[in-house]
Structure 1
Amino acid sequence: MDFNRYSSIYLKNLVDEVLPFWLKNSPDKEYGGFFTCLDTEGRVFDTDKFIWLQARQVWTFSMLYNQMEKNPLWLETAIHGAEFLKKHGRDSAGNWYFSLSREGAPLVQPYNIFSDCFATMAFAQLYKASGVEEYREISVNTFFNILKRQDNPKGKFSKAFPGTRELQNFSLPMILSNLVLEIEHVLDPAIVEATIDKGIHTVMEVFYQPDSGLILENVYADGSFSDSFEGRLLNPGHVLEAMWFVMDLATRRNDQKLIEKAVNIAINALEYGWDKEFGGILYFLDIKGNPPQQLEWDQKLWWVHAEAIVCMLKGYEKTGDQRCLNWFKKLHEYTWKNFVDEDNGEWFGYLNRRGEVLLPLKGGKWKGCFHVPRALFLAQGLLKTLAEKEDKVLSEM
């Protein structure tokens, strides 16, 4: 396999098509922050600002500045977003709102802890890029606020009636597994290790279901199964993203057995979630084969396929499992055929089951400058590493 050719495809898409799209169309030069509701050609169709997308974009340009190239425009863009967040993004208790008006007035209360998670990532990465101490303080304070809220993340905004069906959701422990590695340069090492221990246990033991070999979105506090809409819910994309997070944690601890378990779970998720009729990964499934309650269950989403590509490349790079390489080729073909817009830049976000563009947008309330550039950056690097390994093996023959 020509890993160098694939690496060039991913790098070119990132540098020539995706980043220019956001740099040209997204910054709000009048009020600060970023526009994320962008149509096919990058025109703004709504000016509301969603905190986690603002923070994700700060993180993206900070990360690329730190890991790819000391491009002053990237750092300037990250600071542009961070200063808007710093000024408008939090309530008096330090909780991050869900959304703001264009000018920065709060629109939606801080019910969603993922705003806090991505703000933590953003300011930690920007601190690394800029050395500004205030950014470090914001990141650390927000992280400890997340730890305080993690057992009841929605707090007073929860719609669930207490004491009846008390489920825990997979998303937060999944995010924390990645978040702690993102911000370890601003944390005490003991806190880092304790968070990793808890993350691995929760993701790989509590939510993992040995009978199916899959990870569910919601379980009871003890990890037991809830035969309900929420309890039967499977999100293959979350499983695939989480498994490459776990591979990173396992690599840090030199735990090859854990890496192999993560690869097997990821393969199970792909085999279960792949649409045998039209191709692509289904968004939601019911573990018992019942109709899911989510009406969008059969859509094909950009982030699911981007994370699957990263997961399979990491799995192959760390284990040499041929199944990962086979799946990468299949995912690459589907993604480049259906999501990538080589005429206008960036990727479409939402396809119908047949793989046709469902919404002609490049960004919105949930899609911003994050999954695509992160996946492209990671994929091109992994493919380059695989090419170097292959060259070394050939030279030694």
Structure 2
Amino acid sequence: MMQTLPLTAPHCRAHCATIARWWSDHAVDPAGGFYGQINDDGSVEVNANKGVILNTRILWFFSEAAVFLDSAECKALASRAYHYLLDHFDDKTAGGVFWELDAQGQLVNGKKQTYAQSFAIYALCAYYKATGEQAALDKALCYFQLLEQHSWDQQQLGYLEAFSQSWQALQDLRLSDKDLNYPKTMNTHLHVLEAYTALYLQHKTAEVQQALERLTLLFAERIVNASNGHLRLFMDMDWADHSPFYSYGHDIEASWLLWEALRALDDQHLLQIYRPLVVQMAEVALQQGLCADGHLADEWHLATQQQHQQSCWWIQAEALVGFLTAWRLTDDMGYFSAAEGLWDYIQREHIDAVGGEWHWLAASNPDRATQYKVGFWKGPYHSGRAMMEAALLLEQSH
């Protein structure tokens, strides 16, 4: 069994640098941008399609890491991702970002997922923060305006899930095969919230503030179920809930991202009102989702009343930040102990001992090799962000 390191800010900072180095060494595609897929064993699928989610997450990570690590190499890789995004994913005709390209950067699927536009905003704001390049912020504001124009439901509120390449209605709105086909989802609203928080921190105008405040209140009131501390996952146009399960990973991720949105707004009244809700979400995840070996379970299925305990890398990353945030909000060492157990588990089960990038599934899972290490849904965003956020939380003084 590998020796694990204690949960400290220096160790988190060092591991963030390790993640950046792994991506720099393995993920750069000499033909342009970054590879679309690297398998769990490190082999590269050179002909794999390239998804906008991976590309924007790479852009976000290297932009943030350039500042966090004071790294010229990370800044250069952020620039590579930025230019690839604008040259290949940006729709010069209808606006917004395309969903998927082939390995050569040619269009495969031009649909406009609200989720994807949000990640583009999030990434561009990070790049603007790292470089001061006004064109990046201008493009983020352009995508923001497109979401406000096309995705915002003015009658019943909320952001609609997806559109065609030309921003027309679609029958199949699903983000992935795992999702249900409903027009409003928690996951999309969570990442619009994340994006608008980042945009407001870089561009504090009344328009962005209004959109962020409106969405923050909507998320807290319509998407978080205060009666049980879980998120409503799939909703129809009038917000009726059709969720077949609870998602512990999203519950804990939403708890700290909601708090970040409230902090960005810096409205003491709202902070006071919703602070208990943020803590409740973390507490429910801790009490109901934390497994005996230290990891946070995947889901609770309502029909069978059974817990799905599979360990996915992103859930552990978000739980680490969520529990540390709850610890800072409450001074309750139970949350810190949970974070310590998670960090120990992550090192044993998810971090590749010879490389540094995390495995999708835990090492002890017999299906681990079936999941890629880099791909459409897996970039350095969850693991890298967890290391940055954890270091900052651990460095805070009371």
TM over 0.5: yes
Change in CA separation of 1:208 and 1:128 when aligned onto 2, cut-off 3 Å = closer
Change in CA separation of 1:160 and 1:366 when aligned onto 2, cut-off 3 Å = closer
Q: Which amino acid in 2 is paired with 1:14?
A: C
The answer to whether residue 169 in structure 2 is matched with residue 154 in structure 1 is: no
1:245 alignment partner in structure 2: 257
In structure 2, C-alpha distance between the alignment counterparts of 1:353 and 1:286, rounded to whole Å: 23
In structure 2, C-alpha distance between the alignment counterparts of 1:351 and 1:366, rounded to whole Å: 17
Deviations 1:65-96 (A, max 9, x none): 23x24322111111111111111113320131
Answer whether contact 1:36 1:367 (CA < 8 A) is retained.
no
SS of equivalent residue, structure 2 residue 45: strand
In structure 2, C-alpha distance between the alignment counterparts of 1:11 and 1:325, rounded to whole Å: 18
Q: Which amino acid in 2 is paired with 1:364?
A: G
In structure 1, C-alpha distance between the alignment counterparts of 2:182 and 2:113, rounded to whole Å: 18
Measured after TM superposition, the shift of residue 234 of structure 1 is 1.7
**RMSD (CA atoms):** 2.8
The answer to whether residue 45 in structure 2 is matched with residue 33 in structure 1 is: no
Q: Which amino acid in 2 is paired with 1:19?
A: A
In structure 2, C-alpha distance between the alignment counterparts of 1:223 and 1:249, rounded to whole Å: 22
Equivalent residue for 1:12, pick from 4, 11, 14: 14
SS of equivalent residue, structure 1 residue 367: coil
Deviations 1:270-289 (A, max 9, x none): 3333345x653332322454
In structure 2, C-alpha distance between the alignment counterparts of 1:39 and 1:355, rounded to whole Å: 15
Change in CA separation of 1:303 and 1:4 when aligned onto 2, cut-off 3 Å = closer
Equivalent residue for 1:326, pick from 334, 337, 343: 337
Q: Which amino acid in 2 is paired with 1:253?
A: D
- TM-score, normalised by the number of residues in structure 2: 0.84
Measured after TM superposition, the shift of residue 348 of structure 1 is 0.6
1:64 alignment partner in structure 2: 65
Q: Which segment is superposed worse, 109-118 or 77-86?
A: 109-118
In structure 2, C-alpha distance between the alignment counterparts of 1:106 and 1:45, rounded to whole Å: 18
SS of equivalent residue, structure 2 residue 103: coil
Change in CA separation of 1:233 and 1:258 when aligned onto 2, cut-off 3 Å = same
Q: Which amino acid in 1 is paired with 2:296?
A: I
Q: Which amino acid in 2 is paired with 1:198?
A: R
Change in CA separation of 1:8 and 1:71 when aligned onto 2, cut-off 3 Å = closer
1:383 alignment partner in structure 2: 394
1:314 alignment partner in structure 2: 325
Q: Which amino acid in 2 is paired with 1:22?
A: W
Answer whether contact 2:349 2:364 (CA < 8 A) is retained.
no
Answer whether contact 2:59 2:82 (CA < 8 A) is retained.
yes
1:82 alignment partner in structure 2: 82
Measured after TM superposition, the shift of residue 363 of structure 1 is 1.2
Answer whether contact 1:218 1:233 (CA < 8 A) is retained.
no
1:136 alignment partner in structure 2: 137
The 5-angstrom pairing of residues 369-380 of structure 1 reads: 369-380=380-391
Q: Which amino acid in 1 is paired with 2:127?
A: L
The answer to whether residue 245 in structure 2 is matched with residue 233 in structure 1 is: yes
Answer whether contact 2:20 2:62 (CA < 8 A) is retained.
no
In structure 2, C-alpha distance between the alignment counterparts of 1:160 and 1:366, rounded to whole Å: 17
Q: Which segment is superposed worse, 138-147 or 254-263?
A: 254-263
In structure 1, C-alpha distance between the alignment counterparts of 2:228 and 2:124, rounded to whole Å: 39
1:268 alignment partner in structure 2: 284
Identity percentage over the alignment? 20
- TM-score, normalised by the number of residues in structure 1: 0.84
Answer whether contact 1:236 1:281 (CA < 8 A) is retained.
yes
The answer to whether residue 316 in structure 2 is matched with residue 305 in structure 1 is: yes
Deviations 1:8-28 (A, max 9, x none): 22222221x211100111122
In structure 2, C-alpha distance between the alignment counterparts of 1:113 and 1:200, rounded to whole Å: 17
Q: Which amino acid in 2 is paired with 1:202?
A: L
Q: Which segment is superposed worse, 170-179 or 265-274?
A: 265-274
In structure 1, C-alpha distance between the alignment counterparts of 2:328 and 2:233, rounded to whole Å: 27
* Count of residue correspondences: 370
Change in CA separation of 1:270 and 1:111 when aligned onto 2, cut-off 3 Å = farther
Measured after TM superposition, the shift of residue 306 of structure 1 is 0.2
Which consecutive residues of structure 2, in runs of 5 or more, have no partner in the other structure?
153-158, 164-168, 175-180
The 5-angstrom pairing of residues 111-122 of structure 1 reads: 111-122=112-123
SS of equivalent residue, structure 1 residue 107: strand
Measured after TM superposition, the shift of residue 350 of structure 1 is 1.9
Which consecutive residues of structure 1, in runs of 5 or more, have no partner in the other structure?
390-397
Measured after TM superposition, the shift of residue 143 of structure 1 is 1.4
